[in-house]
Amino acid sequence: MTTSLLLLILVIVVALVFEYANGANDAANAIATVVSTKVLSPRTAIFFAAVFNFWGAFAGTKVAATIGSGIVDTLAIDQPVILCALIGAALVTTIATTFGVPISCSHALIGGLVGATVVYKMSMDAVIWGGVLEKVVIPIFVSPLLGFLGGFAIMKLIFRTCRNLSFGRANSIFGKLQVFSASFMAFSHGNNDAQKTMGIITLALVSGGFLPEDTGIPTWIKVICAATMALGTAAGGRRIIRTLGRSVTKLAPPGGFSAESSAACVIELMSFNGAPVSTTHCITSAVMGVGSAKRLSAVRWGKAKDIVLTWCITLPICAVIGGFACWLIGLAI
């Protein structure tokens, strides 16, 4: 077995570890609100999320194409660089999941890839900065804003149209609707997040000479990434459910429906444009929007500030870890 093939196998294994951790961390994004409103039990909600995550993973490939060829020059890197990027992303995602911190797995992966590439080349030239700006930096700011505004607007609309309904009647109606909005959220998560690992594995195949460039995503990669994310989702991430579903604001079924619908629509929009966005950013900002539609004091802004801080540091931390891992491998070689 050649060194190149061994490296490829190692890259795929670490990529799937990252995908599993991604599913466990981001499971809360799809189900935190439906669990916190007591519409579904955690076990039932996790089952729904796993099924729709798996289904969503087959919905498109634009995000995978961005990761595979739109962030760094595929001809300028090799498999050890991709391995270092994955080490940084998988390490941070696993630690965050263990401590119940909802992070952006997308930015963990992209940060690791950019950091490892810069250190490997000892130059900034191998990074496609136009792609990073268009597909990563701009969506970092736009998607949470859209999530917040969407959650706020839908909640205000519900207040207006359902003002004559009793609290119990409104909860009953939106409790049923929330099953569909949570499923839509899980589907959109699979559509965007599973593609990132598909893209990184395809990048490893291309850089190792095992796959011609511009071939597309092989079906077997889609299957193993979708299945691994679904398994990670089934593992739970219950601490993150508590953080996201209860710590930011108190939700009832109408609020849960508003947050999930807004976040899922934003994620689908970004997926259509090939932007690897953070599901965490979208749903958390939508929850903040829902709380603000009631009154500003309904949002626990201190907790929200802590979550936003993790958004800001995830990408640079993973870039540093990915770059450091690449430097260590260079010393070893």
Residue 306: CB atoms within 10 Å: 13
Q: For 150, what's the count of Cα atoms within 13 Å in the CB-facing half-sphere?
A: 24
Are the beta carbons of 29 and 244 closer than 8 angstroms?
Answer: yes
Q: 139 is written with which tokens?
A: 């969506």
DSSP 72: B
* Calpha distance 200→19 (Å, rounded): 11
Are the beta carbons of 281 and 143 closer than 8 angstroms?
Answer: yes
Would you state the pLDDT for residue 236? 61
Would you state the pLDDT for residue 283? 85
Chain position carrying tokens 């609100």 = 33
Would you state the pLDDT for residue 136? 86
* Domains of the chain by residue range: 3-327
Count of helix runs (H) and strand runs (E) in the chain: 13, 0
Q: Which residues contact 237 (CB under 8 A, 6 or more apart)?
A: 24, 25, 26, 27, 28, 97, 100
Terminal-to-terminal C-alpha distance of the chain: 19
Task: Name residues of the chain where pLDDT drops below 70.
Answer: 1, 27-30, 100, 102, 236-248, 303, 331-333
* Calpha distance 221→224 (Å, rounded): 5
Would you state the pLDDT for residue 1? 57
- Amino acid letter, 128: I
* Calpha distance 108→21 (Å, rounded): 12
DSSP 273: T
- Identify the CA nearest to 116 among candidates 82, 70, 74, 79: 82
* Calpha distance 196→190 (Å, rounded): 10
Would you state the pLDDT for residue 246? 56
* Calpha distance 100→239 (Å, rounded): 5
Would you state the pLDDT for residue 149? 96
